[in-house]
Amino acid sequence: MPQIRGFTLSLWGFRANPQGSPAGVITCPHNPAESSLASLGAGKEDMLNQRDYESASLQEVRALLRRHEAFESDLAAHQDRVEHIAALAQELNELDYHEAASVNSRCQAICDQWDNLGTLTQKRRDALERMEKLLETIDQLQLEFARRAAPFNNWLDGAVEDLQDVWLVHSVEETQSLLTAHEQFKATLPEADRERGAILGIQGEIQKICQTYGLRPKSTNPYITLSPQDINNKWDMVRKLVPSRDQTLQEELARQQVNERLRRQFAAQANAVGPWIQAKVEEVGRLAAGLAGSLEEQMAGLRQQEQNIINYKSNIDRLEGDHQLLQESLVFDNKHTVYSMEHIRVGWEQLLTSIARTINEVENQVLTRDAKGLSQEQLNEFRASFNHFDRVSRGPAHRKRNGMMEPDDFRACLISMGYDLGEVEFARIMTMVDPNAAGVVTFQAFIDFMTRETAETDTAEQVVASFKILAGDKNYITPEELRRELPAEQAEYCIRRMVPYKGTGAPAGALDYVAFSSALYGESDL
């Protein structure tokens, strides 16, 4: 037994010391196992009592758990030592060791410390695992927030952009289309608001968890930079822009409705004025080409038409007023009519020009008839021949009249009237009817030529008498009187060929129409 006792005691750290001590006295120096356990527990209680996990992130908590597991492994390695110390203490008690009470006290302190370390270790493990689960829940909620908030934020950005989009419409239909699209968008707002509530609800759950467990919520979401306040701000902007868009669209609709009324008002008049002008142009053309009745009757009809045209001017003025309203409203298209104001103006000017030209032609025919002594039948015959060959071209529009004949048409006209023309003779005639080499034969030049060719009773005296009427019974005539009384080409023809008047009492530039008439009929060498 002493040998066993000595072996057991040596394990505890006790040893016999016969030198310097009475026989049988046992000393108890410092125990290595006890010292090792003491060093293990030193400072660990403070570490185990730390609440560093409360402000840690999920990754940090997981790192703390890994360190805690390492600590637990280290702590478990000392379990056998604690049990060995307890066994040694028990053995000393059984041997009635005289300092058993001290040993028991020291053993109890070690066991209490060990139990306390175990309790604190388990408590910290439970706290770390609970915190890990909480942070995992928060992390999943943050991920769900990011997953739903990102597309919703894109929708909000698109909605804000659409609601602020500047449109350009030109009709009621286009505006109605925008209104329909806006109403469809407004119908999506309740569902969008529910989605917003769900997204903010996720953030609310995170806050609730933090409040319940005393956690400090993270200011940022690791999965998205968007905050709930950002979503609310954009949502408030959408709600503010929707009624504003409503108002502007309704104002635009009202404006387009006014524009549409202006279009219809203009179109109603233009659709009446345009055909009226076209019909009058054709009617004046028919009157100009008509052969029925005397020139005086034709003139009376033309004067009546001229008066009707003048009386119709108020309709043009009213149409101009409607056009001005359209211009002020920036309306430049009108699907209700093919007539623009420019078309109406051109047609109106064409009508005024046509009636004035036709009246002037008839007046000239009256003067020609009276001056040359032509009968109405002869004049009608000349006009019928002229009108037949009066055409612009030989294409699809060859029947369009323009009041003059080209040389080929003039040649065809003469041939149809029985003339046998050679090139030399035709060239001579062209110098008479086209003295300015303009390449056309006017009706007045044609009448002059035909009068000289057909009027058997024409004499120089008759021409002199006609000029005397134009000159107001004077023996001379001035260029101004010729230009005033005769067509421009005919007047210039006479002015170029008349010699200066040599008599007395005449103003400067006076012309001798007697000598001109004699030369015209071959009665002088002028």
pLDDT of residue 33: 52
Let me know the angle formed at the C-alpha of 429 by 425 and 434, rounded to the nearest 5 degrees: 145
- The domain boundary, picked from 216, 243, 259, lies at 259
CA atoms within 13 A on the CB side of 357: 17
- Say yes or no to pLDDT of 273 above 90: yes
| 364 and 268 both lie in a single domain | yes
pLDDT of residue 444: 78
pLDDT of residue 402: 64
Closest CA to 28 of 106, 114, 111, 84: 106
| 290 and 202 both lie in a single domain | no
If one counts every other C-beta atom within 10 angstroms of the C-beta of residue 6, the result is 13
| 362 and 315 both lie in a single domain | yes
Identify whether 7 is part of a domain: no
Secondary structure of residue 137 in the 3-state scheme: helix
- The domain boundary, picked from 215, 230, 259, lies at 259
- The domain boundary, picked from 259, 287, 322, lies at 259
Identify whether 218 is part of a domain: yes
pLDDT digits (tens, 9 = 90+) for 341-363: 999 999 999 999 989 988 887 88
| 380 and 330 both lie in a single domain | no
Report the domain count for the chain.
5
At position 313, the amino acid (one-letter code) is K
Domain that residue 384 falls in: 373-455
Lowest mean pLDDT among 24-28, 100-104, 162-166, 387-391: 24-28
Identify whether 154 is part of a domain: no
| 492 and 412 both lie in a single domain | no
pLDDT of residue 109: 84
Identify whether 1 is part of a domain: no
pLDDT of residue 94: 87
- Residue 521 — pLDDT band, cuts 50, 70, 90? low
| 377 and 326 both lie in a single domain | no
Identify whether 184 is part of a domain: yes
If one counts every other C-beta atom within 10 angstroms of the C-beta of residue 74, the result is 11
- Say yes or no to pLDDT of 415 above 50: yes
pLDDT digits (tens, 9 = 90+) for 182-232: 999 999 999 999 999 999 999 999 889 888 888 876 778 888 999 999 999
Measured CA to CA, the distance from residue 421 to residue 432 in angstroms comes to 15
Per-residue pLDDT, averaged over 472-491, amounts to: 87
- Residue 18 — pLDDT band, cuts 50, 70, 90? very low
Identify whether 490 is part of a domain: yes
- Say yes or no to pLDDT of 160 above 90: yes
Per-residue pLDDT, averaged over 326-347, amounts to: 93
pLDDT of residue 246: 94
| 348 and 385 both lie in a single domain | no
- Say yes or no to pLDDT of 364 above 50: yes
- Say yes or no to pLDDT of 454 above 80: no
Lowest mean pLDDT among 20-29, 151-160, 342-351, 380-389: 20-29
Measured CA to CA, the distance from residue 447 to residue 365 in angstroms comes to 9
The average confidence (pLDDT) of the chain is 82
| 500 and 400 both lie in a single domain | no
| 368 and 269 both lie in a single domain | yes
Measured CA to CA, the distance from residue 33 to residue 7 in angstroms comes to 16
Identify whether 366 is part of a domain: yes
| 310 and 326 both lie in a single domain | yes
Sign of the Cα torsion 269, 272, 274, 277 reads: negative
pLDDT above 90 covers a percentage of the chain that reads: 32
CATH of the domain at 448: 1.10.238.10
Sign of the Cα torsion 304, 310, 316, 318 reads: negative
- Say yes or no to pLDDT of 430 above 50: yes
Could you tell me which residue, 167 or 309, shows the higher pLDDT? 309
Per-residue pLDDT, averaged over 257-275, amounts to: 95
Per-residue pLDDT, averaged over 106-117, amounts to: 85
Identify whether 97 is part of a domain: yes
CATH of the domain at 223: 1.20.58.60
Point out which residues pair with 15 in neighbouring strands: 27
| 235 and 286 both lie in a single domain | no
